[in-house]
Amino acid sequence: MIAQPERKIALWHLGVAYTAFLIGTLMGVLQVFIRNDALQLPAWLDYYQILTAHGVLLALIYTTFFIFAFFITGMSKSLGSFGPKVRLFSWIGLWVTLLGTVMATVMIVAGEASVLYTFYAPLKANGFYYVGLALVIVGTWISSFALVGHYVVWRRNNKGQLSPLFAFMTVTTIVLWIIACLGVVATVLFQYIPWAFGWTDTINVELSRSLFWYFGHPLVYFWLLPAYIAWYTIVPKLLGVKVFSDSLARLAFVLFILFSIPVGFHHQLTEPGISNFWKFLQVVLTFMVIVPSLMTAFSMFATFEISGRKKGGTGLFGWFKKLPWRDVRFTSIFIAMVFFIPGGAGGIINASFQLNEVVHNTLWIVGHFHITVGTPVAMTFMGLTFWLIPYLTGRRFTKRMQRLGFVQIITWSIGMLLMSTAQHVLGLMGAPRRTAYSGYNGHPSAMEWFDGIISNHVTMAIGGTILFLSAMILMYIVIMTMFISPKAETPEQMVEFPLAESDMSHTPKWLENWWIWIGIAAALIIIAYAIPLTHMIQHAPPGSKGFITW
């Protein structure tokens, strides 16, 4: 069991995370009924208000607080207890991030920030909304530097040794996060805040969007890499085997630093003002990110087969039957991995020059987002929740909770499959995203979108309803394991933090030379961004005044 101070910090992070999750999922179920034209909101609440709250609270706040709870727990477990300075700055990071969250949420609830979680200019929110978002980033940086400080102390005390795999992967994710945040920090501090408070009259829209997507795509990997950490370091322990390859795992994470950041233009393929050459270059770099994902898939299925055959599985697929399907922690993560297969394929479509023209502003993108972040990432976090909270609270994860856990992950899978598939198909038919319900005055072409069994907003609403019910089951499990379930009294009843052993005897030490990878990442970023961003600044249009359309 990790030290009490670290447990307390991690539990606070989880408490905030699941508070945001509860509100965010409620906003989500309201959305699908509005798009189905089955619900009318009261005059004081509008669709874009709840759409913004849904995106910010789930995609930004829930994930961020959960990830840092996971990192704090794992770093304390793998590197030893935190020192007093690390604990102090972890608390400061938590409170600064929470302050920013409250500020941004208040602005959304007050109707002052219905700009969606991408907050595209020239839509203009209250200046304090952007201040709140800036504080969220600053708070995560404080927490990040605290964890990196703990890692540096360990390296100093263990010279010449490679760090444990969990710690290496955590630092890799933090490095990616800090580099990625430079773009959104730059645009919020130097563009949005002066513009929103009236200190400047206009904003360079193309520059603001480019800086956002410099951050926005690696943000996806900030969500995904903690799930990969669980896949690499926890799943093998659940299976009773070692990590398949320590060096492969480390190399895969290093490649994410290199190739996940200089790719933001593939979100802007339909926008003018960016040369096709720079778009194409970043599309090529985007496809390079597929390599570490395929390395991860290979490693995972090799781990499954080694475990299954170790337990007596024979034949081509006999190992598959020997996997621990009755352990909800494993089953939830396995289902999450399976969902990532169509999610990754959809990402390849989105990043393709010509195919992006077909799907860019449609519900396809919403479906893709949910089947990548809302399932592989969220379901992995759910599987982690089933042991992380009992481990931190010292409470039992009872058989009743295990059964409810299976109900929760099955209903989440069904709901996401229905909703996401409907969104994909509706998007291919032409249904737009970022909009409330629109029947286009009964135009026949628009009405065709709603004719099919799958291509139907009713199907999407049914899937969203099942997802909301699944979320409520998860909230019940969270509350029970955090406050009510009986305390573990024997070692057999205690939930352990299951970190797998890793053979580092053949792992080259240069994989942990951070200056090499940060230097190469910086070079790639300069190649991909320096000239087009300079062009946007030097040849800037007059700029746009702010618009409030709600």
What is the rounded CA–CA span in Å between residue 499 and residue 438? Answer: 50
Q: Exposed, middle or buried by CB within 10 Å (0-12, 13-18, 19+), for 263?
A: buried
Distance of CA 88 to the CA centre of its chain: 26
Residue range 169-183: average pLDDT?
Answer: 97
What is the rounded CA–CA span in Å between residue 162 and residue 507? Answer: 8
Cα dist from 525 to 124, 171, 259, 270, 510, whole Å: 29, 20, 9, 21, 22
Confidence at residue 38, expressed as pLDDT on a 0 to 100 scale: 80
Confidence at residue 460, expressed as pLDDT on a 0 to 100 scale: 87
Beta bridge partners of 362: 432
Confidence at residue 328, expressed as pLDDT on a 0 to 100 scale: 94
Cα dist from 471 to 122, 184, 476, whole Å: 34, 30, 9
Sign (positive/negative) of CA torsion 372, 374, 375, 379?
Answer: positive
* For the chain, domain boundaries: 4-539
Per-residue tokens: 331: 């089953």
Contact 387, 495 (CB under 8 A): yes
Catalytic residue list: 217, 221, 368-370, 433-434
Helices (H), 289-434: 290-310, 318-321, 328-350, 353-359, 363-372, 378-393, 399-429
Give the DSSP letter of residue 119.
T
297 pLDDT exceeds 80? yes
Confidence at residue 447, expressed as pLDDT on a 0 to 100 scale: 78
What is the rounded CA–CA span in Å between residue 320 and residue 92? Answer: 46
Confidence at residue 98, expressed as pLDDT on a 0 to 100 scale: 98
Residue range 403-412: average pLDDT?
Answer: 96
What is the rounded CA–CA span in Å between residue 342 and residue 355? Answer: 16
Cα dist from 91 to 15, 142, 366, 393, 469, whole Å: 14, 9, 35, 18, 33
438 pLDDT exceeds 80? no
Confidence at residue 12, expressed as pLDDT on a 0 to 100 scale: 97
Residue range 243-265: average pLDDT?
Answer: 94
pLDDT band at 456 (very low <50, low <70, confident <90, very high): confident
**Domain 4-539 class, CATH top level:** mainly alpha
